[in-house]
Amino acid sequence: MSSPERIVITGMAINTPLGDTLDGFLDGLLHGRSAITRWKQLDVSRCYSKVGADLSDYDLRAKLARLEGAADPAAWNRARKLLGRIPWATGLSVLMSLDAFADAAAFGGTVDPNRVAAIVAGHNINLNYQYENRKQYEDEPDFMDSLLALTGLDTDHAGCVSEVLGLHGPIYTVGAACASGNTALRAAIDEIRYHDVDVALVVGAVLDLSPVELHAMCLMGAVTFQNFNDAPEKASRPWDTRREGFVPAHGGGALVIESLSSAQRRGARIYAEILGCEANSDGNHLPQPSEDGQARLMQRLLDKCRLRPDSIDYINAHATSTPLGDLTEIRSIKRVFGAHAYKLRLNATKSMLGHTCWAAPVVETVASVLQMRAGLLHPTIGIDELDPEVDLDVCRGTQPVAWPVRTMMKNSFGFGGINCVSILSRFKD
């Protein structure tokens, strides 16, 4: 039996309040800057939670202008025409896709558009857009957006991306709560290995949160709102004794992955190799993370990749700043890695970004690859008093940590008992 096709990352893009370029994003992470503020344009006057990482005032047109010259002119022009007619979050998906494709040098006929897939990670993405249209319907139905029946669909993200980039391979969305980004990556790997695709674009869409979802998460006890509304930069505090829930956040990213043979054929720059990505479930629809489910999945992925636990140097943790979730993940890591767990380095990107929800695995994979290439791990900020059960090295502090990473693990665990974990490594020809 032949070995499966090797898969590599050849393009990346990012858009978070910490930065919308790869260099700017990495700089913000390594300097331990918090992206969390009070919500700016979102009306949270009736919502308990007042803080988040906010992109609501982001200038889409300015970003498009910066992409002119880097992107294919025809694709850039199609994006320009679309931006005024599509919802805000869909526009961000288009811009990140354009950015990632340019970063991968995938324009100019270097890839066959019939053999490129586009997979958007997320579901119920345009929530605030739909919320505002429902309010308009209550006031005067004829003034609501006449395209809501189309642009309110998650699939419109994939459709717009394929239109702008001129793609004719398979396109679809993948919903798996906060594991959506990794689940979409897993689907993209399958597209390349089993469905005659050369290149796959994975878009971690920005979740357009509305006040309804924010308040519902407060009532559930999932997000922070008790003590840090007036100190937003302190609200996300993974592994700290005062953590009280995650901080909802805007943010997204995009990955261009392709078969190694395709990347080498066109002389593409290779950021990293994807060794594997696997998923399982806890068999429980409630937001109650399972140590058994997480440990079972991490061990299965190591086995599938034919790796021993001591092959992993670094784990980018899910670490959302929830009382139960943070400890469940630590326990599952210690169960799988044993004594090697104490030789690993972990960090929590959400300590600075908050929880970008459906896009988090893509956003944090971009963060992890950039750290791996830099030989530096960003600090986990917001830990004033480390939970006594957390006895692993979680890069606590405000300064970057020099750490050579050969192979890393990215954890993602979503509501509904959905788990998906990936392993990436430095590329070796």
355 has catalytic annotation = yes
Phi then psi dihedrals of residue 198, to 5 deg: -90, -40
Matching residue, tokens 């997979």:
119
The helix (H) or strand (E) run that includes residue 100 is helix 88-103
Residue 344 corresponds to which tokens in the numbers above?
A: 């690993």
**Whether the Cβ atoms of residue 110 and residue 142 lie closer than 8 Å to each other:** no
CB burial class (10 A; 0-12, 13-18, 19+) of residue 297? buried
**Whether the Cβ atoms of residue 210 and residue 89 lie closer than 8 Å to each other:** no
- Which of 92, 100, 96 is CA-nearest to residue 126? 92
Q: Which of 160, 218, 277, 318 is catalytic?
A: 318
123 has catalytic annotation = no
Q: Which of 157, 250, 355, 378 is catalytic?
A: 355
- Which of 177, 202, 185, 161 is CA-nearest to residue 122? 177
The C-alpha atoms of residue 100 and residue 182 are separated, in whole angstroms, by: 17
Q: Which of 47, 157, 160, 178 is catalytic?
A: 178
**Whether the Cβ atoms of residue 114 and residue 195 lie closer than 8 Å to each other:** no
**Whether the Cβ atoms of residue 126 and residue 87 lie closer than 8 Å to each other:** yes
CB burial class (10 A; 0-12, 13-18, 19+) of residue 312? buried
- Residues recorded for the chain: 429
What count of other Cβ atoms lies within 10 Å of the Cβ of residue 387? 18
Half-sphere exposure in the Cβ direction for 354 (13 Å, CA)? 31
195 has catalytic annotation = no
**Whether the Cβ atoms of residue 101 and residue 113 lie closer than 8 Å to each other:** no
The C-alpha atoms of residue 329 and residue 64 are separated, in whole angstroms, by: 39
Active site residues: 178, 318, 355
